[in-house]
Amino acid sequence: MNNKLNFLSIPEKLDLLKQANDKLNISQSDLNKIIFIYSKPKVGSTSLVTSLRVFVSHLYIILHIHDEDMLRVLSNINGITVNELILYNHFIGKEVYVIDVFRSPVERKISAFFEKIDCLHFNNHCSEINKYDINKLFNRFDKLFPHLGNGDHFIDSYNIEIPHEFDYQNKYLCIDENGIKYIKLRLKDSDCWGEILTKIFKQPIRVIKDYETENKTIKDAYLNFKQNYRIPINFVKDLNNCYYLNYYYSENELNEYLDGWRKKSKEKCSPFTAEEYKVYESISKENNHLDVIQSKHYLDEGCLCIGCKTKRSELAKKLLEGDTSNIARIIHEEVKTDILVNRVNVVNNINNKIRFIRSNRFNRNARGGLWKIVPR
C-alpha cells in the first residue's frame, strides 16, 4: 500500500473517517463526484465555492475546508486530517478534485487583518472601528504584518509533487496524483476562472463574487486603508524573498508587483517578534467578547432541497445570459419563506379571480329585466 494510504489499515481511523463523511453529508448523497476547496482563508475561496455550488452542485458534492480546526469547530470532527479525508473518499470510489487559490501576500494580509479586526485586534464593533483614525489601523497592521496570512496549502499541505514552475500561460495547475486531481488557481486570474473551471469540469461556469470585505460593515475603514496604506520598505525586501510569490508569479509579474509596492513604501518598521505576537494573540483572545464563528456567510449555502435547486437553476441561467444584476442569496430559510409567500399570493390571486367571476357572471338585461350569462 502507498505510504500515504497507510492510515487506511487502521480500523479506528476508518471508523472516524466514515463518521466524518456522515457529518459532512457525503454518505447521504447519491453523487459520486466531490470537490474539496481546501485552501487557506482570505484567498477568494468563498467566491469559488459559491460559483461551483450554483453551477455544478447537481453533479458534485462541494465542501469548503480551511484546516482541521474548521472541521472540529463547525462539524465536531476530530482525529483525522483533511488529507486523510480526501484520500479516504477516493479510496471508497469517489471521483475527487481538490482546489486551492494563491493570493498576493500584501492583499491577503490586509484581508486577514480586517477579517478579525473587531473580535481579535481591537475588541470593538466594526461600526466603531470605522470611526478610528486610519493611522491607528496602519500602525497595528505593520506590527502584525509578518504573522498574518502566511502559508500555502498546495505547496505545504497537499503532500504532492509540484511542477518546477507554475503554468503562467494557462494560469492554473492541474496535477493528477493517486487518482485525485489537485488544482491551483491564482486570485489575480479570477476574471478567467469561469473559463478555467468550465474547461476542467466540462460544465458552463461563471464566477460570482462573494463575501468581499468592501461589502461588510467594516467597508469604510477597509476602503480607506486600501487606498492610503504605505508599506514599510523592509517588508518589500521580505516580499522579494517570498518563496510562494516567486513560484506563482512569473518574473515580469513579480517585478510589476514589487515595483507597485515600492512606489507606495515608507520608512522601516519593527514588527512584533514571534514571541511578542504570541503574547499579543493570547491577550487579544482572552479579552474578546465578540462572536468569532462565521459558519454562514455564503451567497449560496449549498442546500439541495427542491426550492434551493430551483433558485440555483434560475440564477445560473441568468448569469449565463450575462445578467449580473440583483443576485439573490440562496439561503434555505429565505427560499422557504419566499415559496410560502408566493403560494399565498397564488392562492389569493385565484380566490380574487373566483370572486370576480362569480360577481360578474350574471348581468341584468336592461330591456327584458332578465339575467343573462356574460361570456367569459
107 pLDDT above the threshold of 70: yes
Q: Is the dihedral of CA 167, 173, 178, 181 positive or negative?
A: negative
The pLDDT value given to residue 294: 53
pLDDT score at 348:
65
Q: CA-to-CA distance for 119 and 114, rounded, in angstroms?
A: 10
What is the model's pTM?
0.84
Report the candidate in 309, 311, 327 with the shortest Cα–Cα distance to residue 211. 327
Q: What is the pLDDT of residue 315?
A: 86
Model confidence pLDDT, tens digit, residues 131-174? 999 999 999 999 999 999 999 999 999 999 999 999 999 999 99
Average pLDDT, the chain: 88
**Confidence bin at 98 (pLDDT 50/70/90):** very high
Go through 268-299 and write b for each residue having 16 or more CB atoms within 10 A of its CB, e for each that does not.
ebebbeeeebeebeeeeeeeeeeeeeeeeebb
d(CA 33, CA 202): 13
Q: What is the spatial distance between Cα 52 and Cα 203, in angstroms, rounded to a whole number?
A: 10
Q: Poorest-confidence range of 102-106, 141-145, 278-282, 328-332? A: 328-332
